[in-house]
Amino acid sequence: MEKNVIHGEKIEINLNSVGIQLHNALSQNGQTTFLVDAFTNKTTNKEKLLFNSCRLADSIKNYRLLQNDVIGVFSENCLEYFEPILAALYLGITVTNINYYYTVDEFTYVANLSKPKLIFCSKTYVSTALTAIAHLSVVPKLILINFDEDFKRCQSLKNFVSLYITRNFNIVTFRPVQVNVKDVVAIILYSSGTTGLPKGVMLTHFNINALFAIIMNGGYSLTQEPAIGLIPFCHTYGLFLVLIRIIVSSKVIVMKKFEPHVYLKALQDYKISYLHVVPPIAHFLTKSKLVDKYDLSNLIVVICGGAPLSKSIEKALVNRLNLQKVKQSYGMTETTLGVLSHKINLFQYGSCGTVMPNMSIKIIDVRTGEALGPNQSGELCCRGPLVMKGYINDPDSTKIVIDNEGWLHSGDVAYYDENGLFYIVDRLKELIKYKGFQVAPAELESMLLTHPDILDAGVVGIPDEKSGEIPRAFVVKAPNSNLSENDVIAFAKAKISIHKQLRGGVRFVKEIPKNSGGKILRRVLRQEFVNVRAKL
Protein backbone atom coordinates (compact mmCIF):
# COMPACT_ATOMS: atom_id res chain seq x y z
CA MET A 1 0.00 0.00 0.00
CA GLU A 2 1.29 3.45 -0.90
CA LYS A 3 2.55 5.32 2.15
CA ASN A 4 0.32 8.09 3.58
CA VAL A 5 -2.61 7.34 1.26
CA ILE A 6 -5.98 7.10 3.00
CA HIS A 7 -8.47 4.67 1.46
CA GLY A 8 -12.21 4.45 1.88
CA GLU A 9 -13.86 1.07 2.31
CA LYS A 10 -14.71 -0.98 -0.78
CA ILE A 11 -18.37 -1.31 -1.74
CA GLU A 12 -20.10 -2.66 -4.86
CA ILE A 13 -21.15 -0.31 -7.68
CA ASN A 14 -24.21 -0.98 -9.86
CA LEU A 15 -23.32 -1.42 -13.54
CA ASN A 16 -26.77 -0.60 -14.94
CA SER A 17 -27.18 2.76 -16.65
CA VAL A 18 -28.32 5.65 -14.48
CA GLY A 19 -31.48 5.83 -16.58
CA ILE A 20 -32.39 2.22 -15.78
CA GLN A 21 -31.92 2.80 -12.05
CA LEU A 22 -33.97 5.99 -11.98
CA HIS A 23 -36.71 4.43 -14.12
CA ASN A 24 -36.89 1.46 -11.75
CA ALA A 25 -37.08 3.75 -8.71
CA LEU A 26 -39.87 5.86 -10.22
CA SER A 27 -41.82 2.71 -11.12
CA GLN A 28 -42.30 1.91 -7.42
CA ASN A 29 -44.87 3.60 -5.16
CA GLY A 30 -46.09 5.76 -8.03
CA GLN A 31 -48.75 7.62 -6.04
CA THR A 32 -46.14 8.96 -3.62
CA THR A 33 -45.79 12.74 -3.84
CA PHE A 34 -42.25 13.48 -4.95
CA LEU A 35 -42.00 17.19 -5.78
CA VAL A 36 -43.81 20.09 -4.10
CA ASP A 37 -43.57 23.73 -5.18
CA ALA A 38 -42.99 25.71 -1.98
CA PHE A 39 -44.58 28.85 -3.46
CA THR A 40 -47.70 27.41 -5.12
CA ASN A 41 -48.10 24.05 -3.30
CA LYS A 42 -48.46 22.38 -6.71
CA THR A 43 -47.26 18.77 -6.59
CA THR A 44 -45.92 16.01 -8.84
CA ASN A 45 -45.99 12.36 -7.84
CA LYS A 46 -43.58 9.68 -9.02
CA GLU A 47 -46.10 8.20 -11.45
CA LYS A 48 -46.62 11.56 -13.21
CA LEU A 49 -42.89 12.22 -13.41
CA LEU A 50 -42.33 8.75 -14.88
CA PHE A 51 -45.17 9.20 -17.37
CA ASN A 52 -44.01 12.62 -18.56
CA SER A 53 -40.32 11.69 -18.76
CA CYS A 54 -40.97 8.48 -20.72
CA ARG A 55 -43.20 10.28 -23.23
CA LEU A 56 -40.56 12.95 -23.62
CA ALA A 57 -37.84 10.32 -24.09
CA ASP A 58 -39.81 8.75 -26.92
CA SER A 59 -40.30 12.18 -28.51
CA ILE A 60 -36.59 13.04 -28.26
CA LYS A 61 -35.73 9.71 -29.85
CA ASN A 62 -38.13 10.42 -32.73
CA TYR A 63 -36.54 13.86 -33.11
CA ARG A 64 -33.52 11.81 -34.23
CA LEU A 65 -31.24 12.41 -31.28
CA LEU A 66 -28.76 9.61 -30.65
CA GLN A 67 -26.30 8.53 -27.97
CA ASN A 68 -23.45 11.07 -27.70
CA ASP A 69 -25.84 13.86 -28.63
CA VAL A 70 -26.43 16.49 -25.95
CA ILE A 71 -29.52 18.25 -24.62
CA GLY A 72 -29.43 21.29 -22.34
CA VAL A 73 -31.57 22.49 -19.44
CA PHE A 74 -31.63 26.24 -18.77
CA SER A 75 -34.08 27.03 -16.01
CA GLU A 76 -34.57 28.01 -12.42
CA ASN A 77 -35.67 25.25 -10.03
CA CYS A 78 -39.15 24.07 -10.98
CA LEU A 79 -41.29 20.92 -10.95
CA GLU A 80 -40.62 20.23 -14.64
CA TYR A 81 -36.82 20.57 -14.41
CA PHE A 82 -36.07 16.86 -14.19
CA GLU A 83 -38.36 15.65 -17.01
CA PRO A 84 -35.79 16.31 -19.80
CA ILE A 85 -32.93 15.11 -17.58
CA LEU A 86 -34.62 11.78 -16.94
CA ALA A 87 -35.67 11.44 -20.58
CA ALA A 88 -32.09 11.91 -21.78
CA LEU A 89 -30.68 9.49 -19.21
CA TYR A 90 -33.21 6.84 -20.30
CA LEU A 91 -31.85 7.17 -23.86
CA GLY A 92 -28.15 7.32 -23.03
CA ILE A 93 -28.07 10.93 -24.25
CA THR A 94 -25.93 13.47 -22.40
CA VAL A 95 -27.50 16.31 -20.39
CA THR A 96 -25.84 19.65 -19.75
CA ASN A 97 -27.20 21.87 -16.98
CA ILE A 98 -26.66 25.53 -17.85
CA ASN A 99 -26.60 28.04 -15.00
CA TYR A 100 -29.63 30.30 -15.29
CA TYR A 101 -27.57 33.21 -13.91
CA TYR A 102 -25.45 33.19 -17.06
CA THR A 103 -25.39 36.23 -19.30
CA VAL A 104 -25.67 35.90 -23.09
CA ASP A 105 -21.88 35.76 -23.46
CA GLU A 106 -21.50 33.09 -20.76
CA PHE A 107 -24.38 31.02 -22.16
CA THR A 108 -22.86 31.24 -25.63
CA TYR A 109 -19.47 30.08 -24.42
CA VAL A 110 -20.66 26.97 -22.55
CA ALA A 111 -23.20 26.02 -25.22
CA ASN A 112 -20.42 26.11 -27.82
CA LEU A 113 -18.46 23.74 -25.59
CA SER A 114 -21.19 21.12 -25.20
CA LYS A 115 -23.18 21.77 -28.40
CA PRO A 116 -26.70 20.78 -27.24
CA LYS A 117 -29.18 20.08 -30.05
CA LEU A 118 -32.20 20.70 -27.82
CA ILE A 119 -32.38 23.17 -24.95
CA PHE A 120 -35.22 22.96 -22.47
CA CYS A 121 -35.70 26.47 -21.17
CA SER A 122 -37.98 28.27 -18.73
CA LYS A 123 -39.93 31.27 -19.97
CA THR A 124 -38.22 33.41 -17.32
CA TYR A 125 -34.81 33.07 -18.99
CA VAL A 126 -35.79 32.40 -22.59
CA SER A 127 -34.68 35.85 -23.81
CA THR A 128 -31.07 35.03 -22.87
CA ALA A 129 -31.23 31.76 -24.80
CA LEU A 130 -32.90 33.36 -27.84
CA THR A 131 -30.18 36.01 -28.05
CA ALA A 132 -27.36 33.52 -27.53
CA ILE A 133 -28.34 30.90 -30.11
CA ALA A 134 -27.49 33.27 -32.95
CA HIS A 135 -23.85 32.90 -31.90
CA LEU A 136 -23.74 29.11 -31.56
CA SER A 137 -21.90 26.77 -33.91
CA VAL A 138 -24.72 24.24 -33.47
CA VAL A 139 -28.09 26.00 -33.32
CA PRO A 140 -30.40 24.13 -30.92
CA LYS A 141 -34.15 23.93 -30.87
CA LEU A 142 -35.56 25.75 -27.83
CA ILE A 143 -38.37 24.15 -25.86
CA LEU A 144 -40.26 25.80 -23.01
CA ILE A 145 -40.59 23.41 -20.08
CA ASN A 146 -43.04 25.32 -17.88
CA PHE A 147 -45.32 27.06 -20.36
CA ASP A 148 -48.07 25.34 -22.36
CA GLU A 149 -48.04 27.54 -25.44
CA ASP A 150 -45.41 28.24 -28.08
CA PHE A 151 -43.64 31.54 -27.38
CA LYS A 152 -41.65 33.58 -29.91
CA ARG A 153 -39.26 31.09 -31.56
CA CYS A 154 -39.74 28.44 -28.87
CA GLN A 155 -41.97 25.40 -28.89
CA SER A 156 -43.78 24.39 -25.73
CA LEU A 157 -42.91 21.04 -24.18
CA LYS A 158 -46.53 20.00 -24.58
CA ASN A 159 -46.53 20.73 -28.32
CA PHE A 160 -43.10 19.16 -28.86
CA VAL A 161 -44.30 15.88 -27.35
CA SER A 162 -47.57 15.99 -29.28
CA LEU A 163 -45.66 16.42 -32.53
CA TYR A 164 -42.95 13.78 -32.06
CA ILE A 165 -44.34 11.06 -29.79
CA THR A 166 -44.92 7.63 -31.30
CA ARG A 167 -48.54 7.01 -32.17
CA ASN A 168 -50.16 4.79 -29.51
CA PHE A 169 -47.07 5.09 -27.31
CA ASN A 170 -47.30 2.62 -24.41
CA ILE A 171 -45.39 3.53 -21.26
CA VAL A 172 -45.68 -0.07 -20.01
CA THR A 173 -43.43 -1.35 -22.79
CA PHE A 174 -40.94 1.55 -22.67
CA ARG A 175 -37.49 0.50 -21.46
CA PRO A 176 -34.39 2.68 -20.88
CA VAL A 177 -31.26 1.65 -22.78
CA GLN A 178 -28.15 0.11 -21.29
CA VAL A 179 -24.87 1.91 -21.99
CA ASN A 180 -21.18 1.41 -21.40
CA VAL A 181 -21.31 3.05 -17.98
CA LYS A 182 -17.58 3.76 -17.70
CA ASP A 183 -17.40 5.49 -21.05
CA VAL A 184 -20.73 7.20 -21.78
CA VAL A 185 -21.08 10.73 -20.39
CA ALA A 186 -24.35 11.20 -18.50
CA ILE A 187 -24.08 14.84 -17.41
CA ILE A 188 -21.93 17.86 -18.20
CA LEU A 189 -21.68 20.51 -15.49
CA TYR A 190 -19.54 23.63 -15.52
CA SER A 191 -16.64 24.44 -13.24
CA SER A 192 -14.46 27.54 -13.55
CA GLY A 193 -10.71 27.14 -13.61
CA THR A 194 -8.00 29.68 -12.87
CA THR A 195 -7.95 30.57 -16.57
CA GLY A 196 -11.30 32.23 -15.95
CA LEU A 197 -13.24 30.31 -18.58
CA PRO A 198 -15.81 27.68 -17.54
CA LYS A 199 -14.85 24.07 -18.19
CA GLY A 200 -17.36 21.37 -19.02
CA VAL A 201 -17.00 18.58 -16.46
CA MET A 202 -17.95 15.22 -17.99
CA LEU A 203 -19.53 12.83 -15.48
CA THR A 204 -20.14 9.27 -16.66
CA HIS A 205 -22.91 6.87 -15.66
CA PHE A 206 -20.28 5.04 -13.60
CA ASN A 207 -19.39 8.25 -11.72
CA ILE A 208 -23.03 8.72 -10.76
CA ASN A 209 -23.51 5.04 -9.93
CA ALA A 210 -20.52 5.29 -7.58
CA LEU A 211 -22.22 8.20 -5.82
CA PHE A 212 -25.51 6.28 -5.55
CA ALA A 213 -23.65 3.30 -4.06
CA ILE A 214 -21.96 5.49 -1.45
CA ILE A 215 -25.19 7.17 -0.41
CA MET A 216 -27.12 3.90 -0.22
CA ASN A 217 -24.51 1.56 1.27
CA GLY A 218 -21.66 3.68 2.56
CA GLY A 219 -22.79 4.15 6.15
CA TYR A 220 -24.10 7.70 5.87
CA SER A 221 -27.21 9.09 7.52
CA LEU A 222 -29.85 9.07 4.78
CA THR A 223 -33.52 9.22 5.58
CA GLN A 224 -36.73 9.11 3.55
CA GLU A 225 -37.89 12.34 5.14
CA PRO A 226 -38.51 15.47 3.01
CA ALA A 227 -35.66 17.64 1.73
CA ILE A 228 -35.59 21.30 0.70
CA GLY A 229 -34.62 21.80 -2.96
CA LEU A 230 -33.36 25.39 -2.78
CA ILE A 231 -29.79 24.89 -4.01
CA PRO A 232 -29.90 25.49 -7.80
CA PHE A 233 -30.45 22.27 -9.76
CA CYS A 234 -27.85 23.43 -12.29
CA HIS A 235 -25.22 22.91 -9.58
CA THR A 236 -23.74 19.59 -8.57
CA TYR A 237 -25.10 19.83 -5.04
CA GLY A 238 -28.67 20.73 -6.04
CA LEU A 239 -28.81 18.28 -8.95
CA PHE A 240 -27.74 15.21 -7.02
CA LEU A 241 -29.80 16.13 -3.97
CA VAL A 242 -32.87 15.43 -6.14
CA LEU A 243 -31.58 12.45 -8.14
CA ILE A 244 -30.57 10.69 -4.92
CA ARG A 245 -34.07 11.24 -3.55
CA ILE A 246 -35.58 9.53 -6.56
CA ILE A 247 -33.52 6.48 -5.60
CA VAL A 248 -34.49 6.57 -1.90
CA SER A 249 -38.08 7.74 -2.54
CA SER A 250 -38.27 10.87 -0.42
CA LYS A 251 -40.08 14.15 -1.05
CA VAL A 252 -38.38 17.34 -2.28
CA ILE A 253 -39.78 20.80 -1.57
CA VAL A 254 -38.77 22.84 -4.62
CA MET A 255 -37.84 26.51 -4.26
CA LYS A 256 -37.08 28.67 -7.31
CA LYS A 257 -35.47 31.35 -5.15
CA PHE A 258 -34.68 32.13 -1.53
CA GLU A 259 -37.55 33.92 0.18
CA PRO A 260 -37.04 33.85 3.97
CA HIS A 261 -40.65 33.38 5.08
CA VAL A 262 -41.40 30.74 2.44
CA TYR A 263 -38.18 28.91 3.32
CA LEU A 264 -38.79 28.90 7.07
CA LYS A 265 -42.44 27.95 6.62
CA ALA A 266 -41.37 24.97 4.49
CA LEU A 267 -38.92 23.86 7.19
CA GLN A 268 -41.71 24.09 9.74
CA ASP A 269 -44.64 22.64 7.79
CA TYR A 270 -42.74 19.70 6.28
CA LYS A 271 -40.95 18.99 9.56
CA ILE A 272 -37.51 18.96 7.95
CA SER A 273 -35.01 17.05 10.09
CA TYR A 274 -31.97 16.81 7.79
CA LEU A 275 -31.31 20.14 6.08
CA HIS A 276 -28.87 20.69 3.20
CA VAL A 277 -27.47 24.23 3.02
CA VAL A 278 -24.69 26.39 1.64
CA PRO A 279 -22.87 28.88 3.92
CA PRO A 280 -25.11 31.94 3.23
CA ILE A 281 -28.16 29.97 4.41
CA ALA A 282 -26.21 28.80 7.45
CA HIS A 283 -25.45 32.42 8.28
CA PHE A 284 -29.13 33.33 7.83
CA LEU A 285 -30.27 30.56 10.18
CA THR A 286 -27.69 31.69 12.73
CA LYS A 287 -28.46 35.40 12.73
CA SER A 288 -31.93 36.19 11.36
CA LYS A 289 -34.62 37.21 13.86
CA LEU A 290 -37.21 35.61 11.56
CA VAL A 291 -36.03 32.16 12.61
CA ASP A 292 -37.57 32.63 16.07
CA LYS A 293 -41.05 33.02 14.54
CA TYR A 294 -41.12 29.42 13.24
CA ASP A 295 -41.10 26.02 14.87
CA LEU A 296 -37.92 24.32 13.66
CA SER A 297 -37.78 21.81 16.49
CA ASN A 298 -37.71 18.87 14.06
CA LEU A 299 -34.28 19.87 12.77
CA ILE A 300 -31.65 17.34 13.84
CA VAL A 301 -28.71 17.77 11.46
CA VAL A 302 -27.60 20.51 9.07
CA ILE A 303 -25.35 19.39 6.20
CA CYS A 304 -23.28 22.15 4.61
CA GLY A 305 -21.45 22.06 1.29
CA GLY A 306 -20.36 24.38 -1.50
CA ALA A 307 -17.77 26.30 0.55
CA PRO A 308 -16.13 25.99 3.97
CA LEU A 309 -18.09 26.92 7.08
CA SER A 310 -16.27 28.28 10.10
CA LYS A 311 -16.22 26.34 13.35
CA SER A 312 -17.88 29.29 15.10
CA ILE A 313 -20.85 29.24 12.72
CA GLU A 314 -21.14 25.46 13.14
CA LYS A 315 -21.39 25.85 16.91
CA ALA A 316 -23.75 28.84 16.66
CA LEU A 317 -26.09 26.78 14.46
CA VAL A 318 -26.04 23.87 16.87
CA ASN A 319 -26.81 26.14 19.82
CA ARG A 320 -29.52 28.23 18.20
CA LEU A 321 -31.40 25.37 16.53
CA ASN A 322 -30.68 22.75 19.21
CA LEU A 323 -29.13 20.43 16.62
CA GLN A 324 -27.31 17.18 17.15
CA LYS A 325 -24.59 18.37 14.78
CA VAL A 326 -23.60 20.36 11.72
CA LYS A 327 -21.89 18.19 9.11
CA GLN A 328 -19.56 19.61 6.49
CA SER A 329 -18.69 17.71 3.33
CA TYR A 330 -15.99 18.37 0.77
CA GLY A 331 -15.95 17.82 -2.95
CA MET A 332 -15.82 19.42 -6.37
CA THR A 333 -17.88 19.32 -9.52
CA GLU A 334 -14.98 17.24 -10.86
CA THR A 335 -15.63 14.59 -8.18
CA THR A 336 -19.37 14.04 -8.78
CA LEU A 337 -20.23 15.91 -5.55
CA GLY A 338 -18.19 14.84 -2.51
CA VAL A 339 -15.16 12.80 -1.53
CA LEU A 340 -15.17 13.59 2.20
CA SER A 341 -18.13 13.40 4.56
CA HIS A 342 -19.07 12.48 8.10
CA LYS A 343 -20.43 9.04 8.81
CA ILE A 344 -23.12 8.58 11.42
CA ASN A 345 -20.79 7.72 14.29
CA LEU A 346 -17.78 9.99 13.59
CA PHE A 347 -17.88 13.77 13.90
CA GLN A 348 -15.62 16.70 14.75
CA TYR A 349 -16.25 20.44 14.53
CA GLY A 350 -14.42 22.07 11.64
CA SER A 351 -13.81 18.79 9.86
CA CYS A 352 -15.16 17.67 6.49
CA GLY A 353 -15.18 14.05 7.60
CA THR A 354 -13.46 10.93 6.34
CA VAL A 355 -12.72 9.44 2.92
CA MET A 356 -15.80 8.15 1.12
CA PRO A 357 -16.03 4.49 0.05
CA ASN A 358 -14.05 3.41 -3.03
CA MET A 359 -12.02 6.64 -2.94
CA SER A 360 -8.38 7.26 -2.05
CA ILE A 361 -6.98 10.56 -0.83
CA LYS A 362 -3.48 11.83 -0.16
CA ILE A 363 -2.10 15.18 0.96
CA ILE A 364 1.03 16.08 -1.00
CA ASP A 365 3.86 18.53 -0.57
CA VAL A 366 3.22 20.98 -3.43
CA ARG A 367 6.96 21.28 -4.15
CA THR A 368 8.06 17.65 -4.05
CA GLY A 369 4.82 15.71 -4.63
CA GLU A 370 5.56 13.59 -1.56
CA ALA A 371 2.53 12.17 0.28
CA LEU A 372 2.43 13.71 3.76
CA GLY A 373 1.46 12.21 7.09
CA PRO A 374 -1.08 13.35 9.72
CA ASN A 375 -1.31 17.04 10.67
CA GLN A 376 0.82 18.19 7.74
CA SER A 377 -0.80 20.65 5.32
CA GLY A 378 -0.51 20.17 1.58
CA GLU A 379 -2.57 19.84 -1.59
CA LEU A 380 -5.48 17.40 -1.42
CA CYS A 381 -5.45 14.82 -4.23
CA CYS A 382 -8.05 12.10 -4.80
CA ARG A 383 -8.45 9.03 -6.99
CA GLY A 384 -11.36 6.68 -7.58
CA PRO A 385 -14.68 6.18 -9.34
CA LEU A 386 -16.06 9.62 -8.40
CA VAL A 387 -13.35 11.40 -10.42
CA MET A 388 -14.68 12.87 -13.67
CA LYS A 389 -13.90 11.51 -17.11
CA GLY A 390 -12.35 14.89 -17.99
CA TYR A 391 -13.16 18.33 -19.37
CA ILE A 392 -15.11 18.33 -22.61
CA ASN A 393 -12.98 19.28 -25.64
CA ASP A 394 -10.10 20.28 -23.35
CA PRO A 395 -7.55 17.46 -23.00
CA ASP A 396 -4.77 19.87 -21.97
CA SER A 397 -6.68 21.14 -18.92
CA THR A 398 -7.68 17.57 -18.08
CA LYS A 399 -4.02 16.49 -18.03
CA ILE A 400 -3.15 19.38 -15.74
CA VAL A 401 -5.79 18.37 -13.19
CA ILE A 402 -5.60 14.55 -13.47
CA ASP A 403 -2.06 13.15 -13.51
CA ASN A 404 -0.80 10.01 -15.24
CA GLU A 405 -1.62 7.86 -12.19
CA GLY A 406 -5.24 9.04 -12.08
CA TRP A 407 -4.85 11.45 -9.15
CA LEU A 408 -7.04 14.54 -9.37
CA HIS A 409 -5.22 17.56 -7.94
CA SER A 410 -7.82 19.68 -6.18
CA GLY A 411 -5.88 22.89 -5.72
CA ASP A 412 -7.07 22.97 -2.09
CA VAL A 413 -4.83 22.87 0.97
CA ALA A 414 -5.87 20.40 3.66
CA TYR A 415 -4.60 18.03 6.35
CA TYR A 416 -5.89 14.99 8.22
CA ASP A 417 -5.58 13.99 11.84
CA GLU A 418 -4.76 10.68 13.53
CA ASN A 419 -8.42 9.60 13.24
CA GLY A 420 -8.49 10.09 9.48
CA LEU A 421 -10.65 13.22 9.73
CA PHE A 422 -9.84 15.86 7.11
CA TYR A 423 -9.74 19.63 7.47
CA ILE A 424 -9.70 22.19 4.64
CA VAL A 425 -7.21 24.96 5.37
CA ASP A 426 -6.97 27.19 2.31
CA ARG A 427 -6.98 27.16 -1.48
CA LEU A 428 -4.11 26.93 -3.87
CA LYS A 429 -6.50 27.90 -6.59
CA GLU A 430 -7.32 31.55 -7.09
CA LEU A 431 -11.05 30.99 -7.39
CA ILE A 432 -13.27 33.27 -5.36
CA LYS A 433 -16.13 31.42 -3.63
CA TYR A 434 -19.15 33.67 -3.32
CA LYS A 435 -22.13 31.97 -1.62
CA GLY A 436 -20.93 28.62 -2.99
CA PHE A 437 -20.55 29.99 -6.54
CA GLN A 438 -17.13 29.80 -8.17
CA VAL A 439 -15.88 33.11 -9.53
CA ALA A 440 -12.65 33.17 -11.54
CA PRO A 441 -10.63 36.40 -11.13
CA ALA A 442 -9.12 36.06 -14.60
CA GLU A 443 -12.57 36.15 -16.17
CA LEU A 444 -13.42 39.39 -14.37
CA GLU A 445 -10.05 40.88 -15.31
CA SER A 446 -10.61 40.03 -18.98
CA MET A 447 -14.02 41.67 -18.85
CA LEU A 448 -12.68 44.84 -17.17
CA LEU A 449 -9.94 45.19 -19.78
CA THR A 450 -12.59 45.57 -22.49
CA HIS A 451 -13.42 49.00 -21.04
CA PRO A 452 -11.61 51.70 -23.07
CA ASP A 453 -10.56 53.64 -19.95
CA ILE A 454 -9.08 50.63 -18.10
CA LEU A 455 -5.42 49.91 -18.84
CA ASP A 456 -4.92 47.03 -16.41
CA ALA A 457 -6.87 45.21 -13.73
CA GLY A 458 -6.47 42.63 -10.99
CA VAL A 459 -9.24 40.94 -9.01
CA VAL A 460 -9.08 39.13 -5.68
CA GLY A 461 -11.57 37.73 -3.22
CA ILE A 462 -11.86 39.56 0.10
CA PRO A 463 -13.45 38.08 3.23
CA ASP A 464 -17.16 38.62 3.78
CA GLU A 465 -18.98 37.14 6.75
CA LYS A 466 -22.27 36.49 4.95
CA SER A 467 -21.00 35.42 1.53
CA GLY A 468 -17.61 33.87 2.23
CA GLU A 469 -15.74 35.99 -0.28
CA ILE A 470 -16.65 38.88 -2.58
CA PRO A 471 -14.73 40.11 -5.65
CA ARG A 472 -12.69 43.33 -5.33
CA ALA A 473 -11.09 44.95 -8.36
CA PHE A 474 -7.85 46.92 -8.55
CA VAL A 475 -7.86 49.08 -11.67
CA VAL A 476 -5.29 51.14 -13.56
CA LYS A 477 -7.20 53.76 -15.51
CA ALA A 478 -6.11 55.64 -18.61
CA PRO A 479 -4.43 59.04 -18.22
CA ASN A 480 -6.89 61.94 -17.82
CA SER A 481 -9.78 59.50 -17.46
CA ASN A 482 -12.70 60.54 -15.24
CA LEU A 483 -13.64 56.90 -14.61
CA SER A 484 -15.17 56.44 -11.14
CA GLU A 485 -15.69 53.41 -8.92
CA ASN A 486 -19.42 53.49 -9.70
CA ASP A 487 -18.66 53.59 -13.43
CA VAL A 488 -16.58 50.40 -13.17
CA ILE A 489 -19.17 48.62 -11.02
CA ALA A 490 -21.96 49.57 -13.45
CA PHE A 491 -19.87 48.40 -16.43
CA ALA A 492 -19.27 45.03 -14.78
CA LYS A 493 -22.92 44.68 -13.77
CA ALA A 494 -23.99 44.79 -17.42
CA LYS A 495 -21.42 42.19 -18.46
CA ILE A 496 -21.45 39.43 -15.85
CA SER A 497 -23.74 37.25 -13.76
CA ILE A 498 -25.10 38.47 -10.45
CA HIS A 499 -22.80 36.25 -8.37
CA LYS A 500 -19.70 37.71 -10.08
CA GLN A 501 -20.47 41.37 -9.33
CA LEU A 502 -17.77 43.57 -7.76
CA ARG A 503 -19.35 43.64 -4.32
CA GLY A 504 -15.94 44.23 -2.73
CA GLY A 505 -15.61 47.54 -4.55
CA VAL A 506 -13.00 49.04 -6.84
CA ARG A 507 -9.67 50.64 -5.94
CA PHE A 508 -7.67 52.67 -8.45
CA VAL A 509 -3.93 51.98 -8.41
CA LYS A 510 -0.88 53.08 -10.41
CA GLU A 511 0.07 49.54 -11.41
CA ILE A 512 -0.92 45.89 -10.91
CA PRO A 513 1.87 43.95 -9.17
CA LYS A 514 3.17 41.09 -11.31
CA ASN A 515 6.07 38.66 -11.33
CA SER A 516 8.68 38.40 -14.07
CA GLY A 517 6.45 36.06 -16.02
CA GLY A 518 3.56 38.52 -16.01
CA LYS A 519 1.46 36.64 -13.47
CA ILE A 520 -0.55 38.90 -11.15
CA LEU A 521 0.65 38.76 -7.53
CA ARG A 522 -2.73 38.45 -5.89
CA ARG A 523 -1.25 38.08 -2.42
CA VAL A 524 0.11 41.64 -2.78
CA LEU A 525 -3.34 42.92 -3.76
CA ARG A 526 -4.94 41.12 -0.81
CA GLN A 527 -2.35 42.61 1.53
CA GLU A 528 -3.07 46.08 0.16
CA PHE A 529 -6.73 45.58 1.00
CA VAL A 530 -5.77 44.50 4.53
CA ASN A 531 -3.55 47.57 4.92
CA VAL A 532 -6.25 49.97 3.73
CA ARG A 533 -8.85 48.39 6.03
CA ALA A 534 -6.47 48.64 9.00
CA LYS A 535 -6.26 52.42 8.53
CA LEU A 536 -10.03 52.87 8.63
310 plus 359 within the same structural domain: yes
409 plus 438 within the same structural domain: no
Return the ∠ at Cα 443 (arms to 441 and 448), rounded to 5°.
95
Sheet-wide strand order for 5-7: 5-7, 360-364, 378-383, 408-416, 422-427
Q: Is residue 172 part of a domain?
A: yes
Return the closest-CA partner of residue 235 out of 127, 97, 397.
Answer: 97
pLDDT of residue 516: 46
Return the ∠ at Cα 436 (arms to 35 and 434), rounded to 5°.
135
How many beta carbons lie within 10 A of that of residue 426, not counting itself?
A: 10
Query: Could you give the CA distance from residue 46 to residue 34 in angstroms, rounded to a whole number?
Result: 6
Inform me whether the pLDDT recorded for 235 exceeds 70: yes
Whether 146 and 122 have beta carbons less than 8 Å apart is answered as yes
Q: Predicted confidence band at 191 (pLDDT cuts at 50, 70, 90)?
A: confident
pLDDT of residue 343: 79
341 plus 405 within the same structural domain: yes
pLDDT of residue 426: 67
pLDDT of residue 449: 86
Q: Predicted confidence band at 515 (pLDDT cuts at 50, 70, 90)?
A: low
230 plus 343 within the same structural domain: yes
439 plus 418 within the same structural domain: no
How many beta carbons lie within 10 A of that of residue 344, not counting itself?
A: 11
What average pLDDT does the segment 269-282 reach? 92
> Residue 231 is part of a domain; what is its CATH number?
3.40.50.12780
Query: Could you give the CA distance from residue 13 to residue 36 in angstroms, rounded to a whole number?
Result: 31
pLDDT of residue 282: 87
Q: Is residue 5 part of a domain?
A: no
Q: Which of 206, 228, 243 is the last residue of a domain?
A: 206
Q: What residues make up the domain containing 304?
A: 213-383+397-427
pLDDT of residue 140: 96
160 plus 298 within the same structural domain: no
Share of the chain above pLDDT 90, in %: 75
200 plus 249 within the same structural domain: no
pLDDT of residue 344: 66
pLDDT of residue 240: 97
176 plus 239 within the same structural domain: no
Lowest mean per-residue pLDDT among 10-24, 182-196, 315-329, 399-413: 182-196
Q: Is residue 388 part of a domain?
A: no
Q: Is residue 224 part of a domain?
A: yes
Per 3-state DSSP, what percentage of the chain is helix, strand, and coil (rounded to 5)?
35, 25, 40
Q: Which of 206, 228, 247 is the last residue of a domain?
A: 206
List pLDDT tens digits, range 152-185: 889 999 999 999 999 999 999 999 999 999 999 9
159 plus 135 within the same structural domain: yes
Element (H, E) at 193: none
What average pLDDT does the segment 393-401 reach? 95
DSSP letters for 14-39: --S-HHHHHHHHHTSSTTSEEEEETT
Lowest mean per-residue pLDDT among 146-150, 294-298, 307-311, 467-471: 307-311
List pLDDT tens digits, range 124-152: 999 999 999 999 999 999 999 988 888 88
34 plus 151 within the same structural domain: yes
List pLDDT tens digits, range 85-100: 999 999 999 999 999 9
Q: What is the mean pLDDT of the chain?
A: 92
Q: Is residue 390 part of a domain?
A: no
Whether 222 and 211 have beta carbons less than 8 Å apart is answered as no
Q: Name the packing angle between helices 82-91 and 46-62 (round to 10°).
A: 60
**Neighbour-count burial of 195, counting CB atoms closer than 10 A to its CB (0-12 exposed, 13-18 middle, 19+ buried):** middle
Which range among 35-44, 142-151, 274-283 has the greatest average pLDDT? 35-44
Inform me whether the pLDDT recorded for 193 exceeds 50: no
> Residue 467 is part of a domain; what is its CATH number?
3.30.300.30
Lowest mean per-residue pLDDT among 11-15, 180-184, 236-240, 430-434: 430-434
pLDDT of residue 244: 95
What average pLDDT does the segment 235-264 reach? 96
225 plus 160 within the same structural domain: no
List pLDDT tens digits, range 330-389: 999 999 999 999 876 677 888 999 999 999 999 999 889 999 999 999 999 999 999 999
Distances (CA, A) of 401 to 305, 395, 408: 22, 10, 6
What average pLDDT does the segment 474-491 reach? 95
453 plus 529 within the same structural domain: yes
Q: Which of 173, 191, 206 is the last residue of a domain?
A: 206
This prediction's pTM: 0.85
**Neighbour-count burial of 103, counting CB atoms closer than 10 A to its CB (0-12 exposed, 13-18 middle, 19+ buried):** middle
Inform me whether the pLDDT recorded for 517 exceeds 60: no
Residues 6+ apart with CB under 8 A from 467: 279, 280, 434, 435, 503
Q: Is residue 299 part of a domain?
A: yes
Residues in the chain: 536
What is the count of structural domains for the chain? 3
Q: Is residue 392 part of a domain?
A: no
Share of the chain above pLDDT 70, in %: 96
Q: Is residue 88 part of a domain?
A: yes
Q: Name the packing angle between helices 236-248 and 205-217 (round to 10°).
A: 60
How many beta carbons lie within 10 A of that of residue 463, not counting itself?
A: 13
Q: Predicted confidence band at 194 (pLDDT cuts at 50, 70, 90)?
A: very low
Query: Residue 205 phi/psi, 5° resolution?
Result: -60, -35
Coil, helix or strand for 379?
A: strand
List pLDDT tens digits, range 52-62: 999 999 999 99
